[in-house]
């Protein structure tokens, strides 16, 4: 594999002045990472779901000549079958209605800047439906008549063939929480934040079933919903560039 280097710097929305921002953004690409602060087991930091979309956004911004927004760091509630839920300390959230309102307000204030493309990269499983609702609810045809919008969770850019080739025993994206892919991406992107433990959870929760009461100790192993076996920086690097290639191809 030819090694590719991550962008040393990208253009940041926040570095623009008010006098510059209208002409800079008009017709340009704007990339907005949306994440979360959420427990990710004993081995990963709370910032996983914002670190991954932020790194992807910065690379996409650099490769497309676009501007990158600051990451939306606090977002949807963590749920037991996809994030461990609120049984674990450190997870912060906005309630769904507040999150939709917050995202909608940001979108409404961005709209007059008329970017050519708005690319929203999500890194937190529970955000997705609320993010799509906020975007669709702002009536893009009216609010963003000149803007192409593409919003997605990063795992939607991972092809089925790649999963078959690299992720044996794949438990589904809901259960990849703090598992093989996030651990590997963090070992590539921010190795100094990854602790040496590699917890395993042999029985990942099924997708799409909510239960109460719930035995939190059976749903995960210390907040890990699936397997971390085989995690490594090399796998994270492969995955990172696979995602980048697919995002750039999808942007056209
Ligand atoms: Zn995560």
**Owner of token pair 């002045």:** 17
Catalytic residue status for 87: no
Q: In the structure, what pLDDT confidence band is assigned to residue 189 with cuts at 50, 70 and 90?
A: very high
Alpha carbon distance 35, 153 (integer Å) = 10
Domain at 12-251, CATH homologous superfamily: Creatininase (3.40.50.10310)
Tell me the average pLDDT across 52-56. 98
For residue 36, the CA-to-ligand 1 centroid distance in Å is: 8
Options 51, 54, 93, 126, the catalytic residue: 126
H-run or E-run covering 31: strand 29-34
pLDDT of residue 232: 98
CA of 156 to the centre of ligand 1 (A): 14
The one catalytic residue among 49, 51, 54, 176: 49
In this structure, how many other beta carbons lie within 10 angstroms of the beta carbon of residue 33?
28
What is the spatial distance between Cα 100 and Cα 135, in angstroms, rounded to a whole number?
9
* pLDDT above 60: residue 44: yes
CB 150 within 8 A of CB 251: yes
Active-site entry in 43, 93, 124, 201? 124
Instruction: Give the model's pLDDT for residue 219.
Output: 85
User: Which candidate in 174, 182, 201, 237 is catalytic?
Assistant: 182
Residue carrying structure tokens 């963003």: 144
pLDDT at 4 exceeding the cut of 70: yes
Residue 152 CA to ligand 1 center (angstroms) comes to 15
Asked whether the predicted pLDDT for residue 81 surpasses 90, the reply is no
Encoding tokens for residue 69? 């927004």
The whole-number pLDDT of residue 7 equals 84
51 contacts 73 by C-beta, under 8 angstroms: no
**What is the pLDDT at residue 215?**
81
Q: What's the token pair of residue 40?
A: 């990710």
Q: Annotated catalytic, 40?
A: yes
Gap from CA of 189 to ligand 1 centroid (Å): 14
Share the mean pLDDT of the chain.
Answer: 95
Is 124 one of the catalytic residues?
yes
Question: Which distant-in-sequence residues (6+ apart) come within 8 Å of 14 by Cβ?
Answer: 69, 70
Q: What is the mean pLDDT of residues 18-46?
A: 98
Q: What is the mean predicted confidence (pLDDT) over 139-166?
A: 97
Catalytic residue among 40, 43, 93, 201: 40
CB atoms within 10 A of CB 139: 9
Bridge partner list, 31: 68, 119
Q: Given this model, what pLDDT does residue 2 score?
A: 59
Residue 40 in this model has a pLDDT that exceeds 80: yes
What is the tens place of the pLDDT at every residue in 88-137? Answer: 999 999 999 999 999 999 999 999 999 999 999 999 999 999 999 999 99
User: Average pLDDT, stretch 130-148?
Assistant: 97
Tell me the average pLDDT across 210-225: 87
| Residues across the chain | 252
HSE (CB half, 13 Å, CA atoms) of 42?
9
Distance 88 CA to ligand 1 centre (A): 14
C-alpha 93 – ligand 1 centre gap (Å): 14
Quick check: is 174 catalytic? no
Q: Among residues 180, 184, 121, 111, which one has the least CA distance to residue 147?
A: 111
Q: 235 pLDDT exceeds 90?
A: yes
Share of the chain above pLDDT 90, in %: 87
Ligand 1 centre to CA of 49 (Å) is 5
- Given this model, what pLDDT does residue 18 score? 98
pLDDT band at 1 (very low <50, low <70, confident <90, very high): low
């Amino acid at each position: 594999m030819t090694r590719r280097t991550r962008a040393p710097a990208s253009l940041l929305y926040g570095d623009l002045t008010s006098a510059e921002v209208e002409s800079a953004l008009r017709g340009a690409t704007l990339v907005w990472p949306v994440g979360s602060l959420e427990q990710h087991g004993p081995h990963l930091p709370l910032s996983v779901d914002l670190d991954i979309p932020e790194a992807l956004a910065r690379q996409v911004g650099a490769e497309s000549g676009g501007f990158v927004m600051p990451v939306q760091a606090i977002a949807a509630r963590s749920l037991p079958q996809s994030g461990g839920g609120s049984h674990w300390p450190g997870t912060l959230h906005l309630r769904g209605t507040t999150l939709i309102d917050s995202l909608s307000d940001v979108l409404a204030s961005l709209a007059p800047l008329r970017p050519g493309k708005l690319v929203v990269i999500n890194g937190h499983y529970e955000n997705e439906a609320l993010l799509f609702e906020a975007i669709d609810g702002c009536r893009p045809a009216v609010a963003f008549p000149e803007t192409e919008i593409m919003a997605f969770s990063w795992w939607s850019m991972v092809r089925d063939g790649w999963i078959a080739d690299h992720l044996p025993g794949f438990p589904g994206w809901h259960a990849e929480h703090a598992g093989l892919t996030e651990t590997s991406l963090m070992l590539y992107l921010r190795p100094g934040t990854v602790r040496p433990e590699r917890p395993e959870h042999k029985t990942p929760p099924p997708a799409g079933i909510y239960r109460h009461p719930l035995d939190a100790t059976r749903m995960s192993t210390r907040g890990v919903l699936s397997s971390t076996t085989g995690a490594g920086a090399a796998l994270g690097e492969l995955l990172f560039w696979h995602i980048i290639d697919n995002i750039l191809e999808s942007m056209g």
